[in-house]
């Protein structure tokens, strides 16, 4: 019994300190830092309250998540194909229509509109006439996040554009309703805004990102080496017994060193 007690005492933390062994617990399970997981809120704020914030988050997912990008691009290709083709029985009409489409960049315009519609739930197109008002000079796909719309009885009655960096600053630029096309995805006529195709996956994507962060935190902890450093002991004819101050000094010194 005496021998077992002596062995147990030799393994206690106090015994380790008295023998001058500094343990840097960088990879032990007990030393997992809970702060590494403090930023993980499982789907608490996965879906923002405002349409603008939801649209921004949907675009972020489209840019950063390959699965989302592939899905959206597949839908867009299914909807419009590789390019817009114009057909007509009248060759002259077909030729003029193709010239107009090439001049206005209709194919790219439609692709941009479909992309905005699927990702953000809204697509806003604006056509600008020539000075004499007889010809369309330009068609533009406008970022729907910069747009504020107003509907009455299911009809668009007002549309304003604001700076994207400060959407609430002052009065916006009023766009002529008759020159503006507003498309909404998966929304009734009385709703002023559409819904992103990505919206149902918001919580799943955030949960997936939480898993990734947790895996990185665990991997970082478990791939860091556990170092044991002995301070003091027998040196020749001398026995050095470090005090607490010496242990702290050595610990601080080792923390400043690059042990790679």
CB 147, CB 183: distance < 8 Å: no
Q: Which two tokens stand for residue 17?
A: 């300190």
| pLDDT tens digits, one per residue of 34-74 | 454 455 555 557 789 999 999 999 999 999 999 999 999 99
CB 114, CB 76: distance < 8 Å: yes
Q: Is pLDDT above 50 for 16?
A: no
Question: Helices 106-120 and 91-104 meet at what angle, rounded to 10?
Answer: 60
Cα separation, 176 vs 124, in Å, equals 12
pTM exceeds 0.75 for this model:
no
Nearest to 122 by CA among 137, 136, 130, 112: 112
């Amino acid at each position: 019994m005496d021998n077992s007690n002596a062995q147990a005492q030799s393994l206690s933390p106090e015994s380790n300190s008295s023998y001058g062994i500094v343990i840097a617990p960088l990879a032990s399970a007990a030393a997992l830092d809970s702060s590494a997981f403090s930023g993980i809120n499982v789907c608490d704020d996965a879906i923002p309250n405002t349409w603008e914030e939801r649209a921004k988050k949907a675009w972020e997912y489209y840019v950063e998540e390959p699965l989302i990008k592939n899905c959206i691009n597949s839908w867009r290709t299914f909807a419009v194909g590789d390019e817009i083709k114009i057909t007509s029985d009248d060759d002259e009409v077909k030729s003029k229509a193709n010239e107009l489409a090439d001049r206005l960049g209709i194919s790219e315009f439609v692709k941009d509109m479909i992309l905005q519609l699927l990702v953000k739930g809204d697509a806003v197109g604006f056509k600008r006439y020539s000075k004499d008002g007889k010809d369309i000079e330009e068609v533009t796909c406008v970022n729907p996040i910069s747009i504020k719309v107003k509907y009455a009885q299911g009809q668009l009655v007002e549309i304003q554009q604001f700076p994207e960096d400060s959407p609430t600053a002052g009065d916006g630029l009023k766009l002529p309703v008759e020159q503006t096309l507003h498309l909404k995805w998966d929304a009734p006529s009385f709703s002023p805004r559409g819904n992103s195709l990505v919206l149902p996956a918001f919580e799943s994507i955030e949960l997936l990102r939480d898993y990734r962060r947790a895996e990185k935190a665990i991997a970082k902890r478990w791939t860091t080496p556990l170092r044991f450093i002995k301070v003091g002991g027998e040196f020749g004819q001398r026995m050095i017994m470090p005090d607490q101050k010496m242990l702290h000094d050595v610990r601080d010194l080792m923390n400043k060193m690059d042990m790679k």
